[in-house]
Amino acid sequence: MTANEMIARYVQAVTRRLPLEQRADIGAELSALLTEELAGRAEGREPDAALARTLLQGFGHPETVALSYHQTPPVIETLDGRLFRKLAVIFLAALAVLALGVTLSDPAAQTDASFADRIADETLAAALQGLGGLLVVFWIAGFARRRWLRGRWSPNALPAVQAPDAVNRPVMAAAIMFWAAGLAILMAGPATVMAHITGGAAPTALLDAFTYDAAFAAERAPVLWVLLALSILVPAWQAVAGRVTRTTRRVEAVLTLLLAAALFRIVLAGDVFAAEPANEYMKLAMALFGGWGVITSLTALHRDWQTRRSEAAASAPPAQE
């Protein structure tokens, strides 16, 4: 590994632990400073990897350096933030589904006027306790990791610099096949697929439960199938190209927003399945997916805006010496 490559790996390891809007700017400055430090230590010679290793080792573990760029150390480190958000959303969604399921299915809800309020209070308490617990677990994990990492790292072992837009083709291809199979099942109709797989031996009640509502199948479903197909085509295009471009990322975000809007419309317009409770649960699932779609697409568009702003700040040095 060359000295420059080691510095690039180090800068990547630091910046991926920083808030997105600071990454490009701090990365550019850190890279320039480390390169200059290295040249200073080389005293006119060509800097080698051993010299770079000594410099970086003295600079500190990337996690420690990244934390020192914060005004106040975050409770949850940036690197863990994405996992924390995912787990928190999954936990809250599961809790909401559970609470709704209990409210809809418990006979007491029909007779006891305070039942829904009680469930809402208990759900809120469980949500706060769960999120608090998750916060504590992440804080302890981050603290323990920093203690463990102290003195136990080597610049040689830092991960290689990845192109930020590179695509893992095998994983992407597997995901596309999975989504395409799912879409095919939805388009054919779950009842039809079940009947086909079981050779007509599936119980009639099961087939009836998963038969589409006629109005949905005729009017609203085609729009949904088209949007879902387009949503699969974007990653398919990315897999073929081998990279995610800013344009495809934006197209993906806009399509997800449109898909979320279509799902909300379907939920409000009428039934999806002809029979209950499959219809009720499907509409609940669609509402949750729609909400998730709004959050992810708006997050992606906001991130895109932040990245452009950060790049503009880093790439336009205004004054001349």
Partner 1 sequence: MVEADDPFPKLELELRRGAIVLAALSQLSSAQYGYSLRQALAARGMEIEEGTLYPLLRRLEAQGVLVSEWRTGDGPPRRYYTLSEDGRQLYTRLSQSWHALGAVMDALVADGAGR
- Which residues of this protein are in contact with partner 1, per CB under 8 A? 26, 28-30, 32-37, 40, 55, 58-60, 64-65, 68-71, 314, 316-321
- We find the least distance from the C-beta atom of residue 304 to partner 1, in angstroms, to be 23
- We find the least distance from the C-beta atom of residue 7 to partner 1, in angstroms, to be 12
Q: From the CB of residue 22, how many other CB atoms can be counted at a distance below 10 Å?
A: 18
CA dihedral sign, ordered 188, 190, 193, 199: negative
Instruction: Quote the CA–CA distance of 237 and 230 in Å, as a whole number.
Output: 10
- We find the least distance from the C-beta atom of residue 60 to partner 1, in angstroms, to be 4
Which two tokens mark 134? 């998750």
DSSP tag of 72: S
CA dihedral of 140, 141, 146, 147, whole degrees rounded to 10: 60
> In this structure, which amino acid lies at residue 54?
T
- We find the least distance from the C-beta atom of residue 276 to partner 1, in angstroms, to be 56
Instruction: Quote the CA–CA distance of 249 and 198 in Å, as a whole number.
Output: 40
**Closest CB to partner 1 among residues 70, 250:** 70
- We find the least distance from the C-beta atom of residue 290 to partner 1, in angstroms, to be 38
Which two tokens mark 54? 């000594």
> In this structure, which amino acid lies at residue 117?
D
- We find the least distance from the C-beta atom of residue 310 to partner 1, in angstroms, to be 13
44-50-55 Cα angle (round to 5) = 75
**Closest CB to partner 1 among residues 9, 249:** 9
**Closest CB to partner 1 among residues 67, 209:** 67
Which two tokens mark 184? 């095919």
**Closest CB to partner 1 among residues 268, 316:** 316
H or E element at residue 210:
none
**Closest CB to partner 1 among residues 54, 198:** 54
**Closest CB to partner 1 among residues 64, 296:** 64
Instruction: Quote the CA–CA distance of 270 and 195 in Å, as a whole number.
Output: 25
Which two tokens mark 262? 């279509």
**Closest CB to partner 1 among residues 67, 257:** 67
Number of residues assigned to the chain: 321
- The answer to whether residues 119 and 102 touch, using CB atoms and an 8 Å cutoff, is yes
**Closest CB to partner 1 among residues 233, 313:** 313
- We find the least distance from the C-beta atom of residue 148 to partner 1, in angstroms, to be 19
- We find the least distance from the C-beta atom of residue 69 to partner 1, in angstroms, to be 5
- The answer to whether residues 79 and 17 touch, using CB atoms and an 8 Å cutoff, is yes
CA dihedral sign, ordered 16, 74, 308, 250: positive
Q: Which of 246, 262, 256, 240 is nearest to 303 (CA)?
A: 246
Q: Please count the CA atoms within 13 angstroms of the CA of 223 that sit on its side-chain side.
A: 14
**Closest CB to partner 1 among residues 70, 145:** 70
- We find the least distance from the C-beta atom of residue 197 to partner 1, in angstroms, to be 60
